[in-house]
Structures are given as C-alpha cells and as structure tokens.
C-alpha cells in the first residue's frame, strides 16, 4: 500500500470520526434534548453512524472526486 492510499484511508477514518460525532450529537440534542441517558444514546448512534460512513467515504469518495475533477478540469 503506497503512502497516498494510506493518507486517504487515514483522512477517511478521522473525517468520519469528526463528522459523525458532530452530526449525531446535534441531531440527538435537537430531537431528544439533553434527557437522561443522552450520552449513552449519543455514543451508540455515533458508533452506528461511523460504521456506515467509513465504507461510504472509501467507496463513494473516489468516484465523486473523479467527477468533480472532470467538471473543474473542463472549466480550468
């Protein structure tokens, strides 16, 4: 595995932690409020979201990047 691939995977893993944490926290706070058990519910939701988003980032990300590169490349 080359360094570029390692960077992409590391970025996906870290970006997944940050984005799923922020989104799950915000949505739970807005929809449920800070009720008893909020932290446990948030951590569970965060873990589920993370497991879903990492494959999505790794599988969809390159295709989306290629499309963006084609569009931007046409305009440049």
Q: What pTM was estimated for this model as a whole?
A: 0.73
Helix axes 38-75, 3-32, angle to 10 degrees: 130
Q: What digits encode the pLDDT tens for the residues 15-67?
A: 999 999 999 999 999 999 998 999 999 999 999 999 999 888 888 988 988 89
DSSP, residue by residue, 10-31: HHHHHHHHHHHHHHHHHHHHHH
């Amino acid at each position: 595995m080359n360094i570029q691939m390692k960077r992409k995977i590391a970025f996906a893993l870290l970006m997944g932690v940050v984005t799923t944490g922020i989104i799950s926290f915000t949505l739970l706070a807005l929809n449920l409020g800070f009720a008893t058990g909020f932290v446990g519910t948030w951590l569970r939701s965060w873990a589920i979201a993370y497991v879903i988003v990492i494959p999505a980032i790794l599988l969809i990300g390159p295709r989306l990047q290629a499309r963006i590169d084609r569009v931007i490349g046409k305009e440049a």
